Amino acid sequence: MKQYLVILCLLVTLIACKDHAPLTHTKTHGLITQQAMVVSARKEASQIGSDILKKGGNAFDAMVATELALAVAYPYAGNIGGGGFMVYRLHTGETGALDYREKAPMAATKNMYLDSLGNVVPHKSTVGPMAVGVPGTIAGVFASHKKFGSLPIEDIIQPVIELAERGVVVTEMQEERLKYFQPYFQEVNPNGTVLTGNWKSKDTIKYAALAKTLKAVMIGGDDEFYKGETAKTLAKFIQEQGGIIIEEDLARYEAKWRKPITFEYDGLKITSMSPPSSGGICLAQIMKMIEPYDLDLFGHNSLKTIQVLAEAERRAYADRSHYLGDPDFVNIPQEDLISSEYLIERMGDFSFEQATASEDISHGKVDIIESNETTHYSIVDQFGNAIAVTTTLNSGFGSKLYCPELGFFLNNEMDDFSSKPGVPNVYGLIGAEANSILPEKRMLSSMTPTIVEKDGKLLMTLGTPGGSTIITSVLQTILNVHEFKMTMQEAVNAPRFHHQWLPDEIRMEPNRFEKGLIKQLESKGYEINEERSPVIGIVDGILIQEDGSLEGGADPRGDDTAIGF
């Protein structure tokens, strides 16, 4: 892991040098187009999505194409063996959300990751067949297409199949990643995976087995994946490896349309993901807590701005741990949690003089391991529809378990449940009873696909990977545009920080904040950690400019690319 972090640190230093120019002088813009745009983690996926729009498809057609193309071009997080969330805003102004999060298999039990003494068995929820949740991605893309799609599914999936057959060129970042993950692939898949080998940048990797699976799904629809030959092969494979997912788990899976979280902030209307993601509620809590403060006067990443944000984040994450879980299984006091009365009271003990101690907010003990192993894409179409989608295998390449016959990696999303109260997951997030394991329950997420409106019109669609740092990265990007008048690209590029209640520290991207500022924060009782997270979030967003044109913000922290017309 250390070597991987060193590479990330070097990349971050390069990014830091790139945008050290004062933001108030010459404006840095991302790609500007007049009609439509896709911003995603790989140029191949953005291109396929944009081509679908150009053919006359809408944002939902492009969603299917981009999602599946990411499964080919970005197997680190793009997937058909995982799940995700979509938030949308139609050109009419109607908003909604789609939940295609993985769920626990029917044979799952509350204590399935504990040994006979009640201790968590290391790696059981993160690596290999027992870590796998029932995948939701194929159900998600078909639900999106059935409800809103306009092009025939063959026209959408065929270009993705061709991409998988033609192959995808390895980037420099991918070369480092593949090198790092080889021992993990080997440990879980002694017979190899499509990514096993000494891959170098500029090599082309072909995904023949995945192309075959996508073809079967294109012909047989989501029923092929959940009830057909693909389902039989997948369930048999997982069981042979020692897992507990059976055919009936796949047959019973369904994506769910949800009512998103909607709230107001300083004249903006913000729509984000509802439970089983914590993203929307947590974002609403933080933004309602910071709303009374004049952040624009305090300045971007100034002492006071950082204090206000960190204190609001601390309080919101404490609530996240306690209250949130799958809304089909637990009662979430949603309205109370985002009510102004509650949140004003919650910030009542904040003072600019001295940091609040997290132990005075609530209880708990967590350790944190940062991760950027999810992926996000944003789409605006020529009809004025907008979507924000975040999708994941959880960790990089998920459970590392690869089904050779079907050609894809399987998630390790079961680790997003709370295996045992007080024991953190890979993101260091502590869970409570609300997020305990039950058969067919969906695990809590931090994914925060978000759409922002101003004066009744679409302003922005955005989101990011980053585990527990997703919510605070989305927050800072919105504030960068709204409060600090940055362009979309500047807002994405800007240095980020993060507080998540416990451990009681502000994480900062290394070497991107002035040493004097850090000293001032320390003198007020804040602990600063610049080592934990080489990058915080990889944000992809689209901003509608005043003249109606679109500006893409593709994060240089990854290979992310905006393409449109």
Q: Kindly list the catalytic residues.
A: 374
- The span from the CA of 513 to the CA of 508, in Å, is 8
Residues 162-181 that bind ligand GLY (CB under 6 A): none
Under the criterion CB under 6 A, does residue 416 sit at the interface with ligand GLY?
yes
Q: Per-residue contact track with ligand GLY, 197 to 226, x per CB under 6 A?
A: ------------------------------
Site for ligand GLY in 350-389 (CB under 6 A): 374
Total chain residues near ligand GLY (CB under 6 A):
8
What is the closest distance, in whole angstroms, from the C-beta atom of residue 210 to ligand GLY in the complex? Answer: 22
Distance between CA atoms of residues 117 and 137, nearest Å: 36
Which residue number, 100 or 484, has a Cβ lying nearer to ligand GLY? 100
Shorter beta-carbon distance to ligand GLY: residue 138 or 273: 273
What the block records as the tokens of 517 is: 């500022």
Tokens of 554: 């593709």
Using CB atoms within 10 A of its CB, is residue 114 exposed (0-12), middle (13-18) or buried (19+)?
Answer: middle
* 498 φ, ψ (degrees, to nearest 5): -155, 135
Site for ligand GLY in 4-63 (CB under 6 A): none
| Nearest C-alpha neighbor of 375 from the set 386, 387, 391 | 391
Shortest separation between residue 374's beta carbon and ligand GLY, angstroms: 5
Residues 435 to 464: which contact ligand GLY by CB under 6 A?
445-447
d(CA 134, CA 144): 19
Among 50, 392, 399, 493, binds ligand GLY (CB under 6 A): 392
Q: Does 487 bind ligand GLY (CB under 6 A)?
A: no
Q: Smallest gap, in angstroms, from Cβ of residue 415 to ligand GLY? A: 8
**Can residue 473 be called a binding residue for ligand GLY (CB under 6 A)?**
no
Grouping H, G, I as helix, E, B as strand and the rest as coil, residue 183 is helix
Q: How far is the CB of 390 from ligand GLY (least distance, A)?
A: 8
Which residue's entry shows tokens 């984000």? 272
Query: Measured between alpha carbons, how far is 374 from 357 in angstroms, rounded to an integer?
Result: 31
Q: How far is the CB of 180 from ligand GLY (least distance, A)?
A: 19
CB-nearer residue toward ligand GLY: 384 or 467: 467
Q: Which is nearer to ligand GLY, 235 or 447 (CB)?
A: 447
**Partners of 374 in the β-ladder:** 392
Using the Cα atoms of residue 81, residue 87, residue 90 and residue 95 in order, give the sign of their dihedral: positive
Q: Which residue has the tokens 């007049």?
A: 34
Q: Which residue is nearest to ligand GLY (CB)?
A: 445
Considering the complex, state which of residue 224 and residue 540 has its C-beta at the smaller distance from ligand GLY: 540
Binds ligand GLY by CB under 6 A, chosen from 129, 140, 467, 534: 467
Is the distance from CB of 458 to CB of 378 less than 8 angstroms? Answer: no
Judged by beta carbon, residue 151 or residue 475, the one nearer ligand GLY is 475
Q: Does 394 bind ligand GLY (CB under 6 A)?
A: yes
Q: Where are the alpha helices (DSSP H) in 385-486?
A: 470-482
Task: Report in angstroms the alpha-carbon separations of 535 from 22, 95, 538.
Answer: 21, 31, 8
Quote the crossing angle between the two packed helices 279-290 and 303-323, to the nearest 10°. 140
Three-state secondary structure along 287-326?
HHHHCCCCHHHHCCCCHHHHHHHHHHHHHHHHHHHHHCCC
Query: Closer to ligand GLY at the Cβ: 40 or 445?
Result: 445
Please report how close the Cβ of residue 120 comes to ligand GLY at its closest, in angstroms: 18
Q: Could you give the CA distance from residue 260 to residue 231 in angstroms, rounded to a whole number?
A: 30
CB nearer to ligand GLY: pick between 382 and 446: 446
Which residues are registered as beta bridge partners of 380?
A: 37, 386
Q: Which H or E run includes 462?
A: strand 457-463
Please tell me whether the peptide bond between 276 and the residue prior to it is cis, using omega within 30 degrees of 0. yes
When the beta carbons of 234 and 471 are compared against ligand GLY, the nearer one is 471
Q: With binding defined as CB under 6 A, does residue 500 bind ligand GLY?
A: no
Per-residue CA distances from 257 to 1, 86, 98, 254 (Å): 38, 9, 5, 10
* Contact (CB, 8 A) for 149 and 61: yes
CB of 376 to ligand GLY, least distance (A): 11
Binding site for ligand GLY (CB under 6 A): 374, 392, 394, 416, 445-447, 467
